[in-house]
């Protein structure tokens, strides 16, 4: 087990995907080893600044492997990533594991679209029914609303 290590990486606005993060980490943490080649995929090239889902999954994966991970967007469009681990090789190994997982299970890192299914047996209310429902709700709210007393200045029609 090696020394504890903290790494700070700032990715520029156009190059803020995990694909650009990996070579930076590799050169910083392990200069002798070759950089592994990953095939281009949509998920690896996805911007971390625009993908909340990918960042949540990355944070979870790093945490399960003992790496503290924090990210934030900077005002100039860049994204700052902070890593902290007790073993320097753990940051790199976890990043490689995540990249392999991104290629194999890309759905996990993409935002899931919710499909709205119509409810069975219920029809959509017509415009007249919606207006009647809104009027009933408004009348109930007015009936249940507390009586407000007017301010003396308002009674005399003076402006405050």
Express each pLDDT in 72-82 by its tens digit.
787 887 777 78
Q: What DSSP element (H or E) covers 68? A: strand 67-73
36 vs 159: CA distance, rounded Å: 74
Q: Range with the lowest mean pLDDT among 5-9, 100-104, 123-127?
A: 5-9
**Going from the N-terminus, what domains does the chain have, and what CATH number goes with each?**
5-109 (3.30.310)
> Coil, helix or strand for 77?
coil
23 vs 155: CA distance, rounded Å: 73
Buried b / exposed e over 138-159, threshold 16 CB at 10 Å, is eeeeeeeeeeeeeeeeeeeeee
Q: Is the pLDDT of residue 135 over 60?
A: yes
Residue 118: pLDDT band (50, 70, 90) is: low
């Amino acid at each position: 087990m090696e020394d504890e290590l903290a790494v700070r990486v700032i990715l520029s606005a156009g190059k803020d995907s995990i694909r650009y993060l990996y070579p930076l980490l590799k050169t910083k943490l392990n200069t002798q080893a070759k950089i592994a080649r990953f095939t281009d995929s949509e998920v690896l090239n996805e911007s971390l600044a625009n993908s909340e889902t990918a960042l949540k999954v990355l944070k979870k994966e790093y945490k399960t492997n003992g790496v503290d991970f924090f990210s934030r967007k900077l005002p100039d469009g860049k994204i700052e990533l902070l890593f902290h681990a007790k073993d320097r090789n753990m940051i790199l190994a976890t990043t490689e594991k995540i990249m392999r997982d991104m290629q194999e299970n890309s759905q996990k890192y993409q935002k899931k679209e919710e499909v709205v299914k119509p409810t069975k047996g219920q029809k959509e209310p017509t415009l007249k029914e919606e207006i009647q429902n809104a009027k009933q709700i408004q009348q109930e709210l007015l009936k249940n609303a507390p009586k407000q007393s007017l301010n003396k200045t308002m009674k005399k029609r003076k402006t405050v």
